[in-house]
Amino acid sequence: EGDEAGVRSALDRGARPEVTVPIDAGESWSLLTVAAFKGHEHLLSLLLQAGLSIEGGGTTDITPLMMAAQYGHAQTVKALLDLRGNPLAMDSRGRTALHFAALKGHQQCVAALLPVTPPTPAHLEAYTPVHLASYRGHVEVLEQLAGAGWPLTARDSDGNTPMHSAAAGGRVTCVQWLVQRGGDTSMQNNAGHTPLDKELVTAVMEGDEAGVRSALDRGARPEVTVPTNAGVSWSLLTVAASKGHEHLLSLLLQAGLSIEGGGTTDRTPLMMAAQNGHAHTVKALLDLRGNPLAMDSEGWTALHFAAWEGHQQCVAALLPVTPPTPAHLEAHTPVHVASYGGHVEVLEQLAGAGWPLTAKNSDGNTPMHHAAAGGRVTCVQWLVQRGGDTSMQNNAGLTPLDQELVTAVEEGDEAGVRSALDRGARPEVTVPTIAGVSWSLLTVAASEGHEHLLSLLLQAGLSIEGGGTTDMTPLMMAAQNGHAHTVKALLDLRGNPLAMDSEGWTALHFASRQGHQQCVAALLPVTPPTPAHLEAYTPVHVASYYGHVEVLEQLAGAGWPLTARDSDGDTPMHLAAAGGRVTCVQWLVQRGGDTSIQNNAGHTPLDKELVTAVMEGDEAGVRSALDRGARPEVTIPTDTGESCSLLTDAARGGHEHLLSLLLQAGLSIEGGGTTDMTPLMMAAQNGHAHTVKALLDLRGNPLAMNSIGEAVLVVVVVVVVVIVDVDVIFFYYFYNCYF
């Protein structure tokens, strides 16, 4: 309320000035930010004396100065500047107080901020105050900014100039003003749009027919496409269809666009209209000869999209022109889609039009499988009433009831699991995964942290150690995903903490890799450092490589040795160095770790760090390791049983930026180790042309040969003569390179 006496009184009686105020946006503001927002400049000094920061606080990234500028409190802006508020501070979107003042057109605030907010390079790499003023149509602010030296042609990250922004906002006066000051109407942004194109795009998006006509009449290009968040681009007809602007369709078609759309998307305007439920647009596109049988890369038609979303009017419009042809029955049908979405009314429509209710897709799933997978009990019942077979199995051997059980387990729905089991679902079914292995339902429950399902599934006959083709137990899965309560529950149910996967990893390994301290704490008492666990990669190695110092503390406290070697002779310090985990290396050194210990390849931890940096092309990492004493002459063992120099490995990886650095460190341009392949041969073999050129510039020998006489390039010339009528065609195949 700006009540200075009240503020003083509350502070004198012990109120805490550091409290923050929650706002509707889900953020919190400091009291200084609140005062600036309200324009209570008379409170600023008092709150600062109470210990608050001039830059605000709470969870918002908007400073008090930005807030005052945004709401046009010029006196508060001046007061904050006098109190050393930072005018160059930026929020998460790169906006300063000047941006906010320009956006809102607050000329007095702009005037106060301009002398202390110069157009520095940092402010010119993104959306500038000129862009914002242009978009909002504040010509007076543009005059101020131009007078202070802010460029009128700067580009934002999308390549838009202020003229693009003005055009997008429909600010004709601003566009004219910018043109009068030398603005280029033909300049294109990253999407290839000129300001006039941008105006057209905006008009199409907003359904502004007059704006579309005006832009087209003045030369905007209708064939421009619009990039989307999905990484594809749409034609303007597709944009209009997706927005339901059927009144623009004929106009855009007359301008030369295709009824089937364009850009890089494989979805037609008809599909977009159907997906978004624009029935009138669907009908208009059909009247304009849009193809209802066109399919996207997944085999979906417009009818699929309408069925997916449950848009009955769109389905009704499309059914007469989308019969259930064989091509549409070989994959996911609209009936599958509607079943998964639970749209019984759409199923009624599709069945009435002759679409079969038992078709199988490429995974062998029927619509009933999809209804069950989506937990759509009403759809399952509807399909059963119409002759659906609940015992039909898909390619994974699951019946619809099995699929219902799987979905209930995945979602942690205990009532759903009980219901499916009571009705005959088979608990022993397994679930295929993206990794190409299958999991038992107990493994699925553990991976999702559904410990409340464990006893129920065990009572149904499943094994505590899981099943399927995976070698990971439920306990490993719960530990990997950080479900500490599930880990404890599995241990209480006699899950074996000493079980190992094919790599020799236990549940403790997985918890250590992810840094899940609570899981580690639960597993440590039942996973002692036995000899079997010390012959390979230990949890200490894992935690070191991934940089989890807190887990290392836990493991060391439980007696796990910090110097154990894996099968390559690597200690945890080698692994910490390889992972670039400096803090872990320091921690291990403080606890007696030996920085000179060598692995089977003869590498110390520092050498290992250097090797890893070279392999990853990390120039800063290479410099750092060399500066701290790593040995550049170490070699790297290869899969063929040989060894190569670091320069050879850099060449193999195409890291030409490392070559000079490694040569300066004393390595030979011709490589080293036991391999007879030079760095130049290695770069050539792996197709790194820039690295080949760099090595030649560094005097790498192109005539060097390996042990079987192969040089960098062997050319075989084959001449093939083909006589056709009286023509003689010579084909010269000049290259067949091998190494």
Return d(Cα 314, Cα 101) in angstroms, integer. 46
Number of other CB atoms surrounding residue 690 within 10 Å = 11
> 675: helix, coil or strand?
coil
Phi and psi torsions of 173, nearest 5°: -60, -40
Compute the half-sphere exposure of residue 205: CA atoms within 13 Å on the CB side of its CA.
14
Q: What pLDDT does residue 712 have? A: 64
- pLDDT average per 10 residues of sequence, the chain (739 residues): 97 96 91 97 97 95 97 98 96 94 98 94 80 96 96 91 92 92 91 92 95 93 93 97 98 98 96 98 98 94 98 98 81 94 97 94 92 90 92 92 93 95 94 93 98 98 96 98 98 97 95 98 94 81 96 97 92 91 91 90 91 93 91 91 94 96 96 94 95 96 84 40 33 31
pTM of structure = 0.67
Q: How far is CA 43 from CA 13, 108, 112, in A?
A: 17, 21, 20
Return d(Cα 158, Cα 58) in angstroms, integer. 31
483 and 460 Cβ atoms separated by less than 8 Å: no
If you ran DSSP here, which 8-state letter would residue 389 be given? -
Helix (H) or strand (E) holding 29: strand 28-30
Q: What pLDDT does residue 77 have? A: 98
Q: What pLDDT does residue 713 have? A: 55
Instruction: Please list, residue by residue across 359-392, b when 16 or more beta carbons sit within 10 angstroms of its beta carbon and e when fewer do.
Output: bbbeeebbbbbbbbbbbbeebbebbeeeebebeb
Q: What pLDDT does residue 686 have? A: 95
The domain made up of 632-733 is a member of CATH 3.30.470.20? no
Q: Decide the pairing of beta strands 233-235 and 430-432.
A: unpaired
The domains of the chain are located at 632-733
Q: What pLDDT does residue 536 have? A: 79
646 and 634 Cβ atoms separated by less than 8 Å: yes
